[in-house]
Amino acid sequence: MAQGVIKKEDLYRLLSTAAGKKKVYAPIDGVGGIEFAEIHEQKEITLDYSNSKLSPKSIFFPQREVLCTFADDALEEVQTPKEALIVFGIRPCDALSLTYLDKVFSDSAGRFKDPYYLKRRENAVIISLACKEPRATCFCTSVGGSPSGKEGADILVYELADKLLFESCSDRGQDFMKTASVLFKQAEEDHKTAAKEQAEKAKDGMPVLNLNGLKERVDKVFEDPLWDEITRNCLGCGACTYLCPTCHCFDITDEENRKGEGYRIRTWDSCQYPLFTLHASGHNPRVNKKQRMRQRIMHKYSYTVDNYGDIFCVGCGRCILYCPVNLDIRDMLNTLNKL
């Protein structure tokens, strides 16, 4: 493990030095809130945030992506993305979520690999930023994460008073730090102690959700009428699924202009919409919002456990913060687990 300290104001210098030809992404204070964007100077970066509004999944799995193009009836492949990225400032929950998306898009059986997503991931360095003050809606520690979790990160950074403490957690992270080694000062004992204390404090302050036995529980109560009750207020807007860092559902459609040139594109889709599962015959296996919300919860807390061995929720709290009717997934889980 490599460790090193820089002054906050030297962050861009460090990132750009180590980046070489790579693009640098970092959190900026955007129009609609905190977002990840390609940056070119220090003053664009903000460190004053608990998390971004949209999850950083869009860097690797964009909301709209061209899969191939065609002119008349002939198809042309597009180059799979070649650009290499450095992404700074991803929170540990979102870094963990990338490891889940990796499982979906790489497919452990190795039959179908998604070249668009995987190419971007292959070439990326993830530098995540440990949380000092989790939000009231955060619950990462209840779903296997931590405010200073390392999974999915190549480097974990602690924000100290006017400094940043870098700690590599993968070979790629170590290489990155080596490339820019001249810019790092040695990490002193008090830096490490401060980081450790901060991590403990963040963790201890987090409310704990008791999800023991939840999978077995939800598997058993699939038909319970309680599902109607807990999903009654849902508008079916799908905001929760678009914001969720682990949701990966998409649609594939063709777009064409008058000259007969076109694109096959994939766009984010959501299990909260009736058309998502509508058969051509008019039959629909999930006709109402109870069934669709049940699908969202079962998918995250049961099906992915069967298929990938993981709960596909990292406790980022976005779905709680931004739901227009304040539907709280923690309440739903609690209610179900008490059934």
Ligand X SMILES: Cc1cc2nc3c(=O)[nH]c(=O)nc-3n(C[C@H](O)[C@H](O)[C@H](O)COP(=O)(O)OP(=O)(O)OC[C@H]3O[C@@H](n4cnc5c(N)ncnc54)[C@H](O)[C@@H]3O)c2cc1C
Tell me which residue of 164, 161, 143, 131 sits closest to 52, measured CA to CA: 131
Least separation in angstroms between residue 14's CB and ligand SF4 is: 30
Question: Considering the complex, what minimum distance in angstroms separates the CB of residue 205 from ligand SF4?
Answer: 17
Residue 172 contacts residue 88 (beta carbons within 8 Å): no
Give the closest residue to 19 by CA, choosing from 123, 166, 139: 123
207 binds ligand SF4 (CB under 6 A): no
Residues 6+ apart with CB under 8 A from 129: 47, 88, 89, 90, 91, 156, 157, 159
Contacts of other proteins in 293-332 (CB under 8 A): 295, 298-299, 302-304, 306-307
Q: Which two tokens stand for residue 147?
A: 């405010």
- Give the shortest CB-40-to-ligand X separation in angstroms: 42
271 binds ligand SF4 (CB under 6 A): no
From ligand SF4, other proteins, ligand X, none, interface partner of 51 (C-beta below 5 to 8 A by class): none
243 binds, among other proteins, ligand X, ligand SF4, none (CB under 5 to 8 A by kind): ligand SF4
Taking the least distance from each CB to ligand SF4, the nearer of 127 and 243 is 243
Regarding 327 and contact with ligand SF4 (CB under 6 A), the answer is yes
* Residue 316 binds to ligand SF4 (criterion: CB under 6 A): yes
CB hemisphere CA count around 261 (13 angstroms): 1
Closer residue to ligand X, CB minimum distance, 208 or 280: 280
Which residue lies nearer to ligand X by CB, 268 or 301? 268
Residues 300 and 319 sit within 8 Å (Cβ to Cβ): no
Nearer to ligand SF4, 275 or 325 (CB): 325
Q: How far apart are CA 332 and CA 277, in angstroms?
A: 24
21 sits near other proteins (criterion: CB under 8 A): no
Q: Please, which residues bridge with residue 265 across strands?
A: 66, 253
Strands (E), 83-144: 85-90, 124-129
318 scored as a contact of ligand SF4 (CB under 6 A): yes
Residue carrying structure tokens 């608990």? 50
Say if residues 129 and 95 touch (Cβ distance below 8 Å). no
Q: Which two tokens stand for residue 267?
A: 């766009």
Q: Site for ligand SF4 (CB under 6 A): which residue of 315, 333, 336, 337?
A: 315
Binding status of residue 276 toward other proteins by CB under 8 A: yes
- Residue 271: CB minimum distance to other proteins, A: 7
Binding footprint of ligand X on the chain (CB under 6 A):
275, 278, 280
Burial 160-173 (b: 16+ CB within 10 A, else e): beebbbbbbbbeeb
Burial of 253 (0-12, 13-18, 19+ CB in 10 A): exposed
Tell me, what DSSP letter sits at residue 231? H
72 interacts with other proteins by CB under 8 A? yes
Least distance CB 277 / ligand X (angstroms): 11
From other proteins, ligand SF4, ligand X, none, interface partner of 239 (C-beta below 5 to 8 A by class):
ligand SF4
Task: Based on the shown chain and the rule CB under 6 A, indicate whether residue 272 belongs to the binding site for ligand SF4.
Answer: yes
Give the x/- contact pattern for ligand SF4 in 240-269, rule: CB under 6 A: x--xxxx-----------------------
Cα dihedral across residues 121, 104, 239, 94: positive or negative: negative
Pick from 39, 45, 141: nearest CA to 96: 141
Chain positions contacting other proteins, by CB under 8 A: 67-68, 70, 72-75, 77, 80, 104-105, 107, 111-115, 118-119, 222, 248-254, 256, 260, 262, 264, 266, 269, 271, 276-281, 283, 285-286, 291, 295, 298-299, 302-304, 306-307
Chain positions contacting ligand SF4, by CB under 6 A: 234-240, 243-246, 272, 300, 313-319, 323-325, 327, 329
